[in-house]
Structure 1
Amino acid sequence: MLTLNSASSDLLVIDFQTRLMPAIHDSDAVISNAFSLIEAARYLNLPLTYTEQNPEKLGHTLTKLAPYPGEVLHKMTFDALRTPKVAGHIDGTNAIVVAGCEAHVCVLQTVLGLIDAGRQVFVVADAVGSRTPQNRRAALERMARHGAEIVTTEMVIFEWLGSAEHPSFRDILKLVK
């Protein structure tokens, strides 16, 4: 599939945690884009999964990105798929849309794990962050080399909608304006 379809997509939100985000370069923009993706996924009733890396040390998911109705899965592994509960939760055939932090650690390793497992992965570049722009850029390039589609928040949202006639078009359009 070259474009996303809301009927066959899941959103995976990786490690937007309270103690991690202040260190992320351009974190306000990354959080804002993740918020738009999450809200669009909710409007469209897409499966939504959150991970938290070592929440005792890094805190929980940001309140703004409140993890309802998705399930928060705790992990200690950088590749979320190496945590059996996470791997079992996102098992299936849907395309996986990924937003998260840090691009060069947990996002990268999880995306490579998903690709290795035969999944189609769309990494939302403007909803992915790292402490440094160099790490983010290198991670996005590496993920693309291995088969991840690198997309933007607006690309994902408009592909999920498919048409200006979609019943949720006006509500979801507010997320990108």
Structure 2
Amino acid sequence: MTTLPDRPHTALLVIDVQNGVVAGAHDRDAVIANIDTLVAKARAEGVPVIWVQHSDDHLAQGSDDWRYVPELVRDESEPLVHKNYGDSFEGTDLEAVLAERGVGRLVVTGAQTDACIRSTLHGGFVRGYDVTLVGDAHTTEDLSAYGAPPPAQVIAHTNLYWRHQSAPGRAGGTVDTADVTFAPSLVA
């Protein structure tokens, strides 16, 4: 149960599944297929699908790398949130988009696990949202050359630690695509 009053609805967030972000991502095709499944399910259930798109000095707005992967097609009626920081809430209108729709629970998918996904999980949680991570619908690139664990370990660790997140009046959690429900959490 979210701490946000009068916000009983759930939204699916699709974060940064852009050509340049996921080009070398771990299990790219399987993750994108899972996200596509969730988008179709959300649409069929009348659940808002919110698309988040990153740009910065290395990911120029309007470039091919900046565009969403062709396998995922946003409906023109679905909000698109442009961001320049890891946390999808920072410097964006995401909070206003969610408030307009009465959303108090987020189901999170996308890239990159160890950057924008983690930042958005925590950003939503500290703002009072229930936040569910879809464990097989997020990915990252291999940054082991820079000292990071291999991508599969980064993903597994994120799934593990987010599975047990809780705070007064709100909850985190990790589920696989097949187990996603868009019903609100019932944490007290």
Please give the range of the TM-score, normalised by the shorter of the 2 chains.
0.7 to 0.9
Measure, in 2, the Cα distance between the counterparts of 1:120 and 1:103. 18
Measure, in 1, the Cα distance between the counterparts of 2:36 and 2:154. 22
Quote the residue 1:149 is aligned against: 173
1:96 to 90, 96, 106: 106
CA RMSD of aligned residues (A): 1.9
Instruction: Provide TM-score, normalisation by structure 1.
Output: 0.79
CA contact (8 A) 1:104 1:130 kept: yes
2:156 to 137, 140, 165: 137
Measure, in 2, the Cα distance between the counterparts of 1:128 and 1:85. 23
Measure, in 1, the Cα distance between the counterparts of 2:182 and 2:92. 29
Quote the residue 2:74 is aligned against: 67
Measure, in 2, the Cα distance between the counterparts of 1:160 and 1:144. 17
Measure, in 2, the Cα distance between the counterparts of 1:112 and 1:98. 11
Map Cα deviations across residues 85-129 of structure 1 (whole Å, 9 max, x no partner): 122222344311111101111010001011111110111011111
Residues 33-52 of structure 1: pairs in structure 2 closer than 5 A: 33-52=34-53
Q: Which runs of 5+ in 1 are unaligned?
A: 2-6, 162-177
One-letter code aligned to 1:17 = Q
| Structure 1 runs of 4+ with >6 Å offset | none
Quote the residue 2:147 is aligned against: none
Measure, in 2, the Cα distance between the counterparts of 1:149 and 1:120. 9
CA contact (8 A) 1:50 1:70 kept: yes
Q: After the TM superposition, which of the residue ranges 10-19 and 51-60 deviates more from structure 2? A: 51-60
Shift of the alpha carbon at 1:11? 0.6
Q: 1:151 to 1:22 in 2, by over 3 A?
A: same
Instruction: Provide TM-score, normalisation by structure 2.
Output: 0.75
Percent identity of paired positions between Structure 1 and Structure 2: 25
Measure, in 2, the Cα distance between the counterparts of 1:78 and 1:145. 22
CA contact (8 A) 1:14 1:52 kept: yes
Aligned residues: 154
Shift of the alpha carbon at 1:160? 4.3
CA contact (8 A) 2:164 2:173 kept: no
Q: Which runs of 5+ in 2 are unaligned?
A: 2-7, 142-150, 167-171, 184-188
